[in-house]
Structure formats: C-alpha cells, structure tokens
Structure 1
C-alpha cells in the first residue's frame, strides 16, 4: 500500500469515528423524518404500491450512497418522475413490466457514467443552480403550508405548480385555509418554535430538535384524540404494517423479463434514464454549492451509482430514484458531514417498516411540515436575493428567471428556461468582451494590430466580426495569433473571409501565426504533473 493509500485509510477511520459521526447521526434522523412522508407521497402520486416508495428510499440511502462519491447527496424517489411513472404504468399495462423498464434505465445510466456523460453537470451556470435551490426553498414553503394547517389533499413531495385536481400551488393554499384543522395548526406552530429555540440551548442540542418535534407531535395527536382538535387518519403518516414474514414477502414485486421485446418498455426506460440523470446532476451540483466544506462530487461515478441503484430497484419492486434536492438540503442544513448520514437514513427507513410501523403511523404530517418549512426558509433566505442583486444583472436575472420558472412549472422546465437566459447573457458578455483581443496603434496611425487571446471560441465570433467590419479604410490590419493555443474554425473562417475581401476598403491584411486549423487541447495535456506541485 502506498503512503497516500495508507494516509487515506487512516483519514477515513477518523472520518467516520471522529466528530463527523456526532453530526451525521442527528442529520440522518432528520433526513429519515423528511424522507419518510416524501417516499410515501411520491409512491401514492405515481400509482405504485406505497412500499415501493419506501424501498426506493432504502436502496437510495444504503446502496447508492455507499457507491456514490458525494458525501452529502441523498437519493430516493423523486417528484420529477411521478408523471412519467404514472403514465408508464398505465401505458405498459402492469407494474411488473414497468419494473423491467427501471432495470433497463438503470443499465443505461451505468453506461452513461462509463461514457463520462456526467461532465454535463459541470456546465450548469452558478446563477441557475442557486436560483434552483432558492426555488425549491420557496416551493417547500408554499407546498408545506397546507400540510401545516391540516389540509392534506395534495401528496407529500409534490413540486409542480399545476395539480391533477385542477388546483395549483396558490389555490391549494387558499383551499387549505378554508379547511384547516385546529389541532394540526397547534402542532405545526409548536413544532416551529421547538425547531428554532431548542438548538439555542447548548445542554439540549445533543438531542436533534426534529426528534423532539416528532415526539411532541405524537403526544399532542394522542391528547387531541376524541376532541374537536382530533387529527384525521389522512393527517398522519401511513406506512404498510408488516405483521409476519408472509406480509413482508408480499411487499416485493419482481420484473417481467419477457417484456423486453416490448418497444414501449424501451421508450419508458430511455425517458427515465435521461430525466433521472439530469435531475441527479442538477441535485449534485446544487448540493456541492451548499456544502460548507465545498467538496466536488464526481458526476460520472454518481451516474454509475444511480444506475446500480435503479437496476436493483427494478429487480425488487421499488420506484426509480434520483439524487433529491429536498432530502440532500435537509442533510446539509442538519449538519451532515459525510455519506454516513445518508446511509443511516436508509437503515432507519428499513427499521421503521420492519420494527415500529405502528408508532411511525402516529406521526402527524403537520409536525413534519414544520421541519420542511424550516428547510425551505434556509434555502430561500432574503440575504441570498440581496447577494445575487449585488453580483450584477447578468447573475441576478438568470437567478430570478430560474426561480419564477421552477415555481410556476416544474424543476426541469424551470432550469431549462433559466439556462436559456443564462446562455443569452453569456453570449452577450462574450460579444461585448474586449479582452479576447487588443488593438495596438503604436506602430503608426495606418497600422492596427489585433492580438488574439490564448483561447478564441465560437462565442467570440460575433465580436471579432463586428470589430473587423468596422475597421476604418486605408489601413493595414495585422491579426496576430502568436498567443493563441486554439482558434475556433468559425472564427478562422471569419478572419480568412475578411482577409480576402478587405481590399474593397483599401485595407491590407497580414496574418501572423494564424494556423489553418487548430486541435482542441486535451484536459489530460493541461493537467499539472504532481511533481510540479512538490
């Protein structure tokens, strides 16, 4: 074993057994409490068995987190897949055929990871990612308000603006306040107070505040029973109760391998693989942004981990999964430091179903809503908006557009709109950017020298074309590529076209060290040799 490997092994030992574990265990409890209703809600909305959502959370926590290179990302069933899953189960005709599609989707994701398709995640602009996080925070607040007041018509985990019942995010809030439950409101208000005040008492902070909130919610729900404040069954968590091994065995459904010849299955599999991969990459980038240690997660390894997770999910009857921003954000905001917290949350989900389902079914959704309201607030703090405003309109406008688009549509459409706006500002900046060349008139009033920069991409084409078109007549124009390692083919064509046609303005063009073609430098050629750093 090398010195570096030995060091890594020793480091990992301290990593798990040191102070990180003191942070990871409380964080895992919070993530478990957040994930539990979300897994159930998404399964319900997808038209799948409730246990399929829980099983997806277990696999996402234990299997995917163990393989993933991300320390804070948490995987499980995603709201962004609910419509796809619901329609796919209907189109394919049975759940076991759909499970075979998940297996194929998982294998496609593994292939995408091997082909290094995860590098796409490195190119999402910061303004869009930060806007997406803020939008998720706002959605959490808006979506959890009805649950906080006891109106649970909408499923837990939903993020879309429009609802199948013709309601939308805002009309659901209005309906909620017309049909509120006094007991749920008391539980949610007391829960918020505990979440805010409990961590401020240092002697008590060793016990996670969300755990106290859940205990308080269960006690109050029992106390309110039989009174006007009593909670209805649908205002409590509802997980399947396993009483014997036969019940447990019946929870698992296996895929129909004979359906592989069905063309519809492959369409569903490719759709799930692409959408799940995009959501995962977005979530991974977002979590890295809010990681207090600012670690960078390997995107290709994440796709492989998700692919393995989805392959297993399809084999045992679970829903397809992605890395999920809500659970991951709850992990970060609760102080999680390593992947131990995500793994433990999966273990807790499994133990909850097997050992204490009756107790879990006494937890009011209103106290869990309080936890998510606080997560939402931390993601969408007012200070974030003021900071983005200070960073300039090229950052603030894509940020704001992303928020509005995500809140009023869904995650992928919203990010797509934000990305389009960010690209517009990128092109605009490159068009006006004066730093890809310099104009040197020191050699005389009739000589203009353009010194091209080290990298000249197609984004610079418009600006170069504008400068050359507006050159005054009767001059000598020297285009100097001595510093350029790469000049895009479109830019070269623009330069050569100008060279051939400049005589119409009595302009003489000289090209210095401008090659006829350039090869893009490989990343491996640009990487520093470790010996250079020693």
Structure 2
C-alpha cells in the first residue's frame, strides 16, 4: 500500500481540499449539523478506504442523498431518530454485499457512465460559479437543479451578477491562475512541482491574501466568503458535537423504510461511481463491487453510530484523486486523517480559507470531467452512443443524478432493443490447453452491454502466461462497451504475459494496437 506514497500523499491533500467544503455543504443542504458532514467524510476516508479494494475511489457524504436526509429528519422526528435509519441502511448494504448484488453496476452502458461523468462535471462548474465570485447563499452541497431554498442552478448564476465580491473574485482568479500554471507549465519543470500540488499552493495563497487584505473595505474577504468549520472551545464541547442514535425509534416502521431507501440509493450511487472511476482510471484497475458494498455498509453503520451522514463512494472526490495522480487506497485513507487532524488541531486556520479558492479547484475538476473533447468523441461514435449520453447529461443538469442516469439507461435499453436481438449464448469458452494455458473465446452473433459483467469476469479470471483466442467470425453486432473492455484488457494482458489473437473473417490479428480501430475497419455488417 505504501509503494506509491509519493503519488498518494500529494493526491490526498488535493482530495482533502475538495472534500472539506463538500462535507460541510452537504450537511447544510441536508438540514443536519455541520459536524455530521465532517464525521462522514472522516469515516469514508479512513474506515471505508481501509476496507475497500478500490484503489482510487474516495467515499464521503453524497449530495444525491441530501434531499432524502432533509425529508427524513423531519419525518422521523429528529436527527437522533434519523441516525437509526443510517445504521439500518448500513446493515442492509452488508446484506446486499453478501447476496452478491454488486454485479448490478455492470449493467449500465458506457454511454450512460460517460454521460454521468460529464453531467457531474457541468454541474460542478455551474454550482461553483457563485462561490467563485463571492456569492454564497446557495448550499454548497446541493447539486440538484431545484435547490432547497426554492431557486435553481441558473437563477443563482444570474443573481451572482449583482452580488460580486471583489476580494473573493480576485483571490479566485489568483487560485485559478496558479492551478493552470501548475498543471500546464510548472509540473513539467521538476519533481518539486509534482510533489507540491497546485491546489495546496492556491489554498496557501488564498489564506495569505485574506490576512494581507483583512480590514480592507474594497479588496478584503468577509467572513461569509470563508470556510466555516465548527470550532469547539474545549474537549467537552468537541465531544458534544457527536450525536448518537435513539434506538427506541426502531419501533417506527418509517425508520425501516428510510433505512432501506438509504441502502438502495447509496448502493446504486456507489456502484455507478465504481464503474465510472474504473473507466477513467489510467491504470484500469477493476474494483470488486460486492466487497465495496460490504465496505460501504460498514462505514454507514459506524457513521450512523457516532452522528454522521450516509456515505457513498463519490465521483467528485474520486476524480480529483485520479487527476492528482493517486495510485492506491492510501490516498483516500490519508485524506480522512487530514480531515480528522485538521478539525481537531487547526479549525481556526481552516476558517481562513476563501471559498472562492476551493471553487477554483472544483472548477478545474469539473472541466476535466466535461472536456469538449468528450462530446466530440461521443458524437463520432454514432447515434447509439450519442443519444443515451446526451439524455444522461441533460437529465443530470436539469433534474438530479439518479433521474438523469435512469433516463439515460432507459434510452440505452431502447436503443439496444432496436439494434439487436437477445441471444442467450453470447460467449463460449473452450479450453485448448496442451502444456500451456490456451483458451478460445467465441463471441455470438449479438453481444451487448448486458453481457459486459460476464465477459469482464472471464477475462479477469484468466491465469498468467495464457494464449487467448477471441473468435468474432460469427459476430454481427458487438457493442462499443465490449470493445472498450477488450481495449482495457489489452493493457493489463501485457503485464500478465497474456497473448491475444483475434480471429475474424479477414484472418488472424495478434495483439492489435487498437481494438476500437480494428472493429471500425471491419465490413459494415460485421463486428
């Protein structure tokens, strides 16, 4: 786990600065104590990070659950009663993991997953614009289009025009300039600029700016534009911030309903995030989804027992970890300890960080998720990929995460039903070993994203030093998701000394450089 600490340590610092305002903002949007967001962030980093086998996933409080939490606290008669539902949700997630329900995550097409990433990137950018210019009335963690204060994403941006804070805007542009300079120029100049990450420098610059301009009417930063971490005045008051579940509420049927709802939504968000982070991971690690549910369930049980919000794996923090070079789960664990240490030792210093600097960090994260090149790539792949992708993006931007994903998935299913027929025999495995492992996989006439999980499982189970033959001579429709799996597997195959041969109507291709190019060059009716 410590093999890549030179990558994980700086990445954990970036994730810490991304997670800090989100933990507080999601608690605020949920109508829960601010400290509850920090608790779930700490548990998500340390406990879930340690138990999970995801190398780059980061867990914490989820914006997608904010509306559920806000409603449940009022319905169940208080926060302590709600914590019982969080504990129950964790127990139910353990049951999901034991029952191997994690395979559900493989049944979401690539176009929907990419649409989810892009939609979240756009939402991050839109939601951070008010904070960047010093207009901070909307809850930081509210990522839905219609907000809890009755406004929406675009009305908040329009209100920003008449409420610009000069000081917050200046320090926001300073932070953004540092981030761009660091990533495009300085990071290529020497190792010191790779060890010390741009976001850390931007945050330090923001704190320095605050102290230099403190007291200035025109260029200073007011308290409302700074991070607001609870500051206890004694050990007793610190302990008093923890809340504990009222287990007498177990007799209330609504508590059980809420617990199941939390488990279902949190598990779905986690599985989607796992699928998305594995897809953008440059090292193409595959996360065991059932073990992830067990880790998430354990985290939610502990979080509920000490007063925290429900936990899921979160794409914003996970993508920040990947973009910052994180390699193992140590990055997630260290970020959890950084949250814990900072809340205990330096809450006053944290409260000097301008929100506009953190907004600049998130703007960069959002842009990397929603680059214009992604839209161009999806358009070039054809309407079967473009339509579900676009519907998912629009659904997430104009409603919320789960509605957008559901809409994209339904459209993806319709597209598949139009273009292909169900075929129960989508994969045939033949062991041709004779002294050396030799496996032949014959793909059927129709292979869609519904078959993704089974094919991925078969490929990952291949032993080292194997000769693999993939016969596609009978295949007339091969979904883009399956081509992507073969493309990603080719990278790992080299590390495991697996030789791949593609048998097609044109002959045999040994270890093709690009599976996407290979299949695009085939005759129109072929795979």
Whether contact under 8 Å (1:287, 1:329) holds in the other structure is yes
Cα deviation digits, residues 70-126 of structure 1 (max 9, x gap): 011111111111111111110111111111111111000000000011100011100
Q: Distance in 2 between matches of 1:283 and 1:485?
A: 30
2:200 is aligned with 1:217: no
Counterpart pick for 1:116 among 89, 96, 100 = 100
Correspondences of 1:2-151 after superposition (within 5 Å)? 15-17=1-3, 20-151=4-135
Counterpart pick for 1:395 among 375, 385, 393 = 385
Alpha-carbon shift at residue 251 of structure 1 (Å): 1.4
Correspondences of 1:379-390 after superposition (within 5 Å)? 379-390=369-380
Of the structure 1 ranges 411-420 and 229-238, higher mean CA displacement relative to structure 2 is found in 229-238
SS at match of 2:2: helix
2:347 is aligned with 1:357: yes
- Matched with 1:171 is 155
SS at match of 2:141: coil
- Matched with 2:250 is 260
- Matched with 1:185 is 169
Alpha-carbon shift at residue 254 of structure 1 (Å): 1.0
Normalised TM-score (structure 1): 0.79
2:238 is aligned with 1:238: no
Alpha-carbon shift at residue 182 of structure 1 (Å): 0.4
Whether contact under 8 Å (1:242, 1:353) holds in the other structure is no
Q: Distance in 2 between matches of 1:526 and 1:46?
A: 42
Of the structure 1 ranges 374-383 and 161-170, higher mean CA displacement relative to structure 2 is found in 161-170
2:293 is aligned with 1:321: no
2:219 is aligned with 1:229: yes
Alpha-carbon shift at residue 58 of structure 1 (Å): 0.2
Cα 1:530–1:331 change in 2 (3 A) is closer
Of the structure 1 ranges 161-170 and 61-70, higher mean CA displacement relative to structure 2 is found in 161-170
Alpha-carbon shift at residue 522 of structure 1 (Å): 12
Alpha-carbon shift at residue 524 of structure 1 (Å): 9.5
Alpha-carbon shift at residue 523 of structure 1 (Å): 11
Cα deviation digits, residues 387-415 of structure 1 (max 9, x gap): 11111110111111110111000000000
Alpha-carbon shift at residue 526 of structure 1 (Å): 11
Q: Distance in 2 between matches of 1:132 and 1:28?
A: 24
- Matched with 2:482 is none
Q: Distance in 2 between matches of 1:523 and 1:287?
A: 16
Whether contact under 8 Å (2:145, 2:153) holds in the other structure is yes
Q: Distance in 2 between matches of 1:368 and 1:524?
A: 40
- Matched with 1:449 is none
Whether contact under 8 Å (2:134, 2:168) holds in the other structure is yes
SS at match of 2:390: helix
- Matched with 1:296 is 286
Correspondences of 1:407-446 after superposition (within 5 Å)? 407-431=397-421
Counterpart pick for 2:321 among 316, 331, 352 = 331
Cα 1:328–1:527 change in 2 (3 A) is closer
Give every structure 1 segment of 4 or more consecutive aligned residues whose post-TM-superposition deviation is greater than 4 Å: 453-456, 483-487, 521-532
Q: Distance in 2 between matches of 1:101 and 1:176?
A: 38
The structure with the largest alpha-carbon Rg is 1
Cα 1:428–1:331 change in 2 (3 A) is same
SS at match of 1:322: strand
Counterpart pick for 1:154 among 111, 125, 138 = 138
RMSD: 2.4
Counterpart pick for 2:362 among 348, 364, 372 = 372
- Matched with 1:501 is none
Q: Distance in 2 between matches of 1:527 and 1:16?
A: 25
Whether contact under 8 Å (1:398, 1:421) holds in the other structure is yes
- Matched with 1:463 is none
SS at match of 1:332: helix
- Matched with 1:508 is none
Cα 1:294–1:149 change in 2 (3 A) is same
Runs of 5+ consecutive residues of structure 2 not aligned to the other structure: 428-441, 447-453, 468-527
Cα deviation digits, residues 117-139 of structure 1 (max 9, x gap): 11000111000000110011111
Q: Distance in 2 between matches of 1:242 and 1:32?
A: 21
